[in-house]
Chain A
């Protein structure tokens, strides 16, 4: 059951990673490049505002699944990291914990920034909040994958 949830947690995290990365790149590209024809230009010219609500929903879903898995991590994975003296891996997870919490707590501000019609006074906040969410998602995803590589899927 926990292994299935861990796989689902990872799959949702992939979807979240894709959504927030597309949005962050699209929000960063100037409007006058919107007619560009190259693959990367098209990738970056995605309609960023369309990702606001999906990112919030996916983030909360991934977070809830992570919160359910957390006690198993503490009982099964953390003692192994301590036995192997993997301090950096332990610290990386501590940061994942904080980044998840701060990420979910800033979602209301992030969602308000992306709410239509977009307010010009929040252009800077919108861009930076999106990059902050992207940073937390990337960190959490990489650390999660590293820990699965160390311990394996069996929880």
Chain B
């Protein structure tokens, strides 16, 4: 049950953090295609970056932190329905964010 609640907390926070990460561009690092290097800053000559790995890293970091820090008593009191409602809302937000490609 202890592991159960920590895993739930990780997923809820990480899904939320990923959504915020791509929306506000909170990328933990950037991967530069042409040079094949990873950097936290944006060098002027580095070429186009891939942000996706950095967004994922941001989400994982937020998820792990929440799973460790948030008290188990609080997690147990959360509705089990949140376990699917938060990811469903995150998918819907992604759909709305990318709808511009289809218009």
Contact = CB atoms under 8 A, between A and B. Distances in A.
B99 to A, nearest CB: 8
B102 A88 contact: yes
Interface size class of A (residues with CB under 8 A): 35 or more
B84 A102 contact: no
A95 B98 contact: yes
A90 B11 contact: no
Contacts of A88: 101-102
Contact of A132 (B8, B50, B84, B100): B84
Nearest to B83: A125
A26 to B, nearest CB: 17
Instruction: Say whether chain B's binding surface is mostly helix, strand, loop, or mixed.
Output: helix
A108 B98 contact: no
A12 B53 CA distance: 21
Interface residues of B, number: 39
10 nearest CB pairs, A to B: A91-B101, A109-B11, A128-B84, A98-B94, A108-B7, A125-B83, A105-B14, A112-B7, A106-B87, A112-B4
Interface of A: 67, 70-71, 74-75, 87-88, 90-92, 94-95, 97-99, 101-102, 104-113, 115, 119, 121-122, 124-125, 128-129, 132, 135-136
30 contacts: A90-B101, A91-B101, A91-B102, A95-B95, A97-B52, A98-B18, A98-B91, A98-B97, A98-B98, A101-B18, A101-B52, A102-B15, A102-B18, A102-B94, A105-B14, A105-B15, A105-B60, A106-B11, A108-B8, A109-B7, A109-B8, A109-B11, A115-B4, A121-B80, A125-B83, A125-B84, A132-B84, A132-B87, A132-B88, A136-B91
